[in-house]
Structure 1
């Protein structure tokens, strides 16, 4: 009886995995096929184009000026991810190993940030950005991403740190190591899967962000890739095949990052599930 239930459970999980894969892959494949069509074939019901036009990618890059938008996205994403990871590592270390009065209250208040969607804070952010001089500034946008990325990053790191044996930390302290050395030479090497997991999650969220970049960036030379691509969606005419090609180009960095860090990412997710 138990074996029968296990078989049905495994079959159900397999079906769910296939359905999920199709749900995720099919839209990407559709956009990829659309990016290789001519303007006349865009509204054709056929999935694959009759005439393949790989030149759409070159045309989209040149006509849309994707190079500048791409570099802006790289700058904002890399800066925000690095700063978020550094600050969240320090905070998670303090919450885990340096217990102080009211630490649980502070941690709970910090986690409330996870419950607040960025769209709900657009107007206050715009007012504060103008007041602080961060409006229409790429570094200012990076700091906004840091603020929104800290709660979930600290939560993940603290959960992972809690599973590290306390003897490692105590032995390092007995050897005279300072806290920063304990963090970066003892804890972080053990927590590499968690660091990779947070890196991928932050990179994906910040790279694909649209609403915050749209509101806080005014000039075209400060647009990130999603905002820059959206400017070419016209009221009367939209080059759908070029928009699709630009979207595929924009997804390449995320795809490459995941391929490079896939093994560590899976280890981080598995470790988090086991600790949960």
Structure 2
């Protein structure tokens, strides 16, 4: 790893990092500052007094947790298969999965709507969980495969000599050694599923199953547009993601950096 040793170089790098951070930090500062305008903390009180906020958070937790479990399970299995197993034409299948990255969510709305109706899951949590997981998996497989490539083949050879099956090798070697990339996948999937707005709006009509992304709608109507409470809703909605990132920060950064260079 490169390291800056001279003081002028360190100061220059610190200045560069600060300048690169400002465009991302500025909207967050404006959001928090705007949420405290007008009634101040009363804006947060008004948001917390919305009767459906508990239901919204419960739905978001269910959808996000299920999406994370499905995405993480399938990603780790697929990355292990693409990286370490001998599968005919596996590179073809891998590039077919990556081709899904080119499809924006908006283009898929009509096919997803028709599919959820056909299989009978429309207006349920599964109508959002399954598409969200499917949209996350191509990217997570891409970064996880690069990480699994870095696991030495000698470990798997030794496991085979000891009589371990493919499943035992996966469980005993791959899973413990890929915790950093698993943490990165959890954080990225949580952000994608927790912030999803379009899919819950289109595929769920039951108000009791709506997510927190629809919380600001209580303060925007035909005759009112209270942006201070909308911003307060955004801050409250972002808190679980911030907590999750802080808890997994070390593993998340290690997973992304290792997956990028291996």
1:256 CA displacement: 0.3
2: CA distance, partners of 1:62 / 1:259:
27
1: CA distance, partners of 2:254 / 2:35:
34
1:231 CA displacement: 4.9
Q: Report 1:1-276 matches (<5 A).
A: 13-38=13-38, 53-63=40-50, 65-275=52-262
2: CA distance, partners of 1:141 / 1:83:
12
1: CA distance, partners of 2:219 / 2:108:
27
1: CA distance, partners of 2:97 / 2:36:
46
**3-state SS, counterpart of residue 219 of structure 2:** coil
C-alpha contact (below 8 Å) 2:97/2:138 kept by paired residues: yes
C-alpha contact (below 8 Å) 1:134/1:141 kept by paired residues: no
Greater CA deviation, 23-32 or 100-109? 23-32
Greater CA deviation, 74-83 or 177-186? 177-186
1: CA distance, partners of 2:78 / 2:10:
40
Cα deviations by residue, 1:138-190 (Å, 9 ceiling, x for unpaired)? 12311111111111111111111111100111111221222222112211111
C-alpha contact (below 8 Å) 2:144/2:259 kept by paired residues: no
1: CA distance, partners of 2:222 / 2:122:
28
C-alpha contact (below 8 Å) 1:134/1:140 kept by paired residues: yes
Relative to the length of structure 1, the TM-score reads 0.87
RMSD (Å), alpha carbons = 1.9
Residues 232 and 221 of structure 1, relative CA distance in 2, 3 Å threshold: farther
Q: What are the ranges of 5 or more consecutive residues in structure 2 without an aligned counterpart?
A: 1-5
Cα deviations by residue, 1:175-210 (Å, 9 ceiling, x for unpaired)? 122222211221111111111111111111111111
1: CA distance, partners of 2:16 / 2:58:
38
1: CA distance, partners of 2:218 / 2:166:
48
C-alpha contact (below 8 Å) 2:146/2:260 kept by paired residues: no
Residues 145 and 199 of structure 1, relative CA distance in 2, 3 Å threshold: same
1:268 CA displacement: 1.2
Aligned residue number for residue 3 of structure 2: none
Residues 8 and 38 of structure 1, relative CA distance in 2, 3 Å threshold: same
1:70 CA displacement: 0.9
Relative to the length of structure 2, the TM-score reads 0.91
Residues 7 and 123 of structure 1, relative CA distance in 2, 3 Å threshold: farther
C-alpha contact (below 8 Å) 1:69/1:224 kept by paired residues: yes
Paired positions, count: 257
Residues 125 and 29 of structure 1, relative CA distance in 2, 3 Å threshold: same
Cα deviations by residue, 1:75-111 (Å, 9 ceiling, x for unpaired)? 1011101111001111111111212111111111111
